[in-house]
A and B are shown apart, each in its own frame.
Chain A
C-alpha cells in the first residue's frame, strides 16, 4: 500500500447544519427534500455564506435529494460539481467530504456542500426488505433482507473467534445513550438506558438486541467545505480536514450486504484495515494521536471491530478496551460517539457524526472532550466502498 506522507488535505469544514431529528415518521409538516434544503441553508448560514457562493454539491448512498433540484430550490446560480460517491450505503459519508476536497483542491469548485437527507417515515424503513439489494437473488429468498440481519452474521463470527461478549456490545450502546442524554438534539435525549434495560430488550437478529441497532429516524444534515485560504473568512471557527479517504478491499463488493464472500482473513471485520494506513498516513498521525472519535454505529458489534481495525487496540482486544472505560466521556482515552451517535442521536446515514466531529473541534459538543485537537470520523462499517476522515482543531 502506498501511503503518501504529507498529502494532507488543504480544505476545511466551515459550516454545519441540521434539521430537527425525530423518530421515523416524526417530520410530517415538510418533505424530506425541504428538510434537506433547510439543513444546507443552516450550514451555509453557520459558515457566513450564501447559496450564491456554492458551486458544488456532493452526497452518497443514492440520496434522492438530487443536486440539480437542490440548485433550483436554493437558487444556486452556477453549479460546477454535482457528484455522489457510489454505493456502500452509509459507507459514503466521509466519501462525500473526500470528493468535495478533491474538487476544491483541483480547482473544480470553491465551496462545496456535502449533505444527506433521510426521512425514513417518508421513504422506507431500513430495517425492512427493500428493492435493489446487491445480489438480491442470493439473500432475499433466504430471508436475509436488511442490514441488522446481514451484519449480525459478521458480529456472530467475530464473537466466536475472539473474547467478545454481550457485555461489550452493551457498553457501546450504553455509552451512546449516556452521551445522547446530554445532547438536547438527540432523539433519545430524555430516555435513559440501563444495563438491565439493554438485556431485557428483544432480540433483533442474534447476537444483536434492540439497543445494538441504530435508530430509524427522520432528519437531514449538511457540512460546508472550502479551501483553507477561503476558510479564514468564515463566520464560525473552521475545522481542518487532515485526511479524507474512501475505498474498499478485495471482495467487499460481494461482502456483508451481499453474498458474504469477502476474504476469510477479513470476514469478521469492518473492512477498514484497508483504509487505515492511508487515513493516518496522509494526516501524519497515529491512532494514539486521536483525541475523540465518531465511529459509524449502525450496530454495536461493528464499532468494536472498527476500534481494532483502525488500530486503537489489537485484534480481539476491543471488548477489554471498552470494558476499561476507554470510550466513556469525559475520562476515557477515546471518548466515542459523543452526540449519542446513530444508536441514540439519529440515523442520518452518518452525516450527523461528521457534524458532531466538527462540534468537538470547535469546542461546542454537549459532551465536549477537553482540549481535543483531533477527531476521527468513519462512514458505514462492513460495507463497500467505505470512507473516513480525520478532523483537526485550527
Chain B
C-alpha cells in the first residue's frame, strides 16, 4: 500500500523526465548525466547547462543519502496527506553525485528526530500500476525494505 493515500498526485512522466521515472519503475534511482561532459543534473532537462550537449546517460545513485534540509509539514495542502500528518518533506543529497538534490520524504521515524546532516536509506514506495517513487528512512528503520 502506498505511503500516502491512493488519491495522492502521481508522477506524470513527460518527454524530458521519462528516463528518471523509467528508472524508478525498475526501482533504480538514476540521475541524468551529460554523455559529453559528465555533469549531473536534476530535475532532468533536455540540454546540458554546462556544454549544451543533448546526449544523456542515466547513472544510478547510492542508496544512502544525507538530509540537506527538511520541513515538518503540519497541514494538508491536499486531502491525500491527511493520513500522514505531520510528515517530513526533505531535500537529500548523495555522496559522489555533485550538483544534484532530490525532494523526498523521511519516513519511519519521529519528525522531531530528523536533523540536517542525518544519514538516510532509500526505499521504494509502490504506487501501483508499475509506478514507484523513492522515499527515505533512517538506516535499519524499515526491516522489510
Which residues from chain A sit less than 8 Å from chain B, CB to CB? 127-129, 135-146, 149, 152-154, 156-157, 160, 202-208, 250, 254, 258-261, 267
Find the residue from A139, A140, A204 having the highest chain B CB count within 10 A. Answer: A140
CB-CB contacts below 8 Å: B8-24 with A: 8-14, 17, 21
Q: Is A259 a contact of B86 with CB atoms below 8 Å?
A: no
Shortest Cβ distance from B133 into A: residue: A141
A206 x B78 contact (CB < 8 A): no
Q: Would A143 and B69 be within 8 Å (CB), given that A135-B43, A260-B101 are in contact?
A: no
A160 B116 Cβ-Cβ under 8 A: yes
Give the CA-CA distance A206 to B85 in the complex, in Å. 13
Q: Is the CB of A156 within 8 A of B71?
A: yes
Q: B74-96 vs A: 1/0 string, CB under 8 Å?
A: 11011001001011011100000
> What is the CA–CA distance of A149 and B41 in the complex, to the nearest angstrom?
23
Tell me, in angstroms, the Cα distance from A276 to B69 when the chains sit together. Answer: 26
**Chain B residues whose C-beta falls within 8 Å of the C-beta of A138 in the assembled complex:** 11, 17, 42-43, 102-103
Q: Is B61 an interface residue (CB 8 A)?
A: no
For residue B4, which residues in chain A have a CB less than 8 angstroms away from its CB? 141, 143
Q: Are B87 and A143 in contact, CB atoms less than 8 angstroms apart?
A: yes
A156→B116 contact, CB < 8 A:
yes
Inter-chain contact A142/B11, CB cutoff 8 Å: no
**0/1 per residue, B101-140, Cβ < 8 Å to A?**
1111100000000001000000000010000010100000
Measured CB to CB, the nearest residue on chain B to A140 is B9
Do the beta carbons of A254 and B116 come within 8 Å of each other? no
* A206 touching B72, Cβ below 8 Å: yes
Q: Does B63 contact A (CB under 8 A)?
A: no
Closest to B2 in A: A141
Contact partner of A128 (CB less than 8 A), chosen from B43, B77, B100, B101, is B77
B73 contacts chain A at the CB level, 8 A cutoff: yes
A144 surroundings in chain B (CB, below 8 A): 73, 89, 103
Contacts of B116 in A (CB 8 A): 156-157, 160
